[in-house]
Amino acid sequence: MEEKKFNMPLLGDPFPEMSVVTTHGPMNIPGDLKGSWFVLFSHPADFTPVCTTEFVGFQKRMEEFEKLGVKLIGMSVDQVFSHIKWVEWIQEKLGVKITFPVIAANDTIANKLGMLHPGKGSNTVRAVFIGDPEGKVRLVLYYPQEIGRNMDEIVRSVKALITSDENGVAIPANWPENELIKNRVIVPPAQSQADAEKRMSEYEGYDWWFCHKEL
C-alpha cells in the first residue's frame, strides 16, 4: 500500500504557486498578491455554523486588514457556486457582506498546503497562512474543525510581523499589552562581548540580552 505524503509549506518557504477559481474570478497565488502581505485561511465547509461565525469575524476586521495593506482570502474544497450561495446567505440572513474572495479548492491544492489531515476526516482543517510581500510563508496556524479561530490574534500576528520586519526588532508575548514591557519591542541581543558591555547604556532592559525600546 502506497503511503500518502503529507505536505505543508514551512516558515520561510515560498508560498506554493496555485491557479485558482474564486468568488471574485480566477487568481494566481501568490503572484497576484506580490507586494502585499496576505492572510489565506481555509475552512472545513460552507453552510456550517463555526465557519459562518469565522467569516463574519474576518469581515468585521476587514477595515483593520485594509489599513495594514493586508489581503484576505478564504478557501475550502467546496465548489465556487456553493461559496457564492453561502456568502449571499450570510448577507441576507446576517446582514454582513463578505468582500474578500473565497477560493474553490480541490484536493490537489488542499494537499499542497497540508490542509487535509487523515485523522480529521475528508474536510480541510482550519489553516491560516500569513504571507509577506515577497510571497514567502511567515506564519502557519492549524485548528481542528470543532474550534473556531480568534480573529484578533490573526490581526495581531500580522501587525507583529510587519512591525518586526520594518524595525528589525522582536515582539514580546501578548504585544502590545505585554505583562513586562507593555507596548515596547525587544532589541536583538548583542552579538559580541563589546556590544554586550555597552548595551545597557544604550537601551532600557533587564540585562544585556533582554533590552527593549519604544517604537
CA distance 31 to 134: 9
Instruction: Round to whole Å and give the CA distance between 158 and 86.
Output: 27
Side-chain half-sphere CA neighbours of 146 within 13 A: 2
Of the candidates 20, 33, 40, 51, the residue annotated as catalytic is 51
Retrieve residue 191's grid coordinates: 552579538
* Contact between residue 9 and residue 113 where contact means Cβ atoms under 8 Å apart: yes
**CA nearest neighbour of 128 among 67, 90, 72, 84:** 72
- Whether 51 is catalytic: yes
Residue 152 sits at φ, ψ, to 5 deg, of -65, -35
Closest CA to 129 of 43, 69, 39: 39
Structure-block grid coordinates of residue 92: 441576507
Task: Report the catalytic residues.
Answer: 51
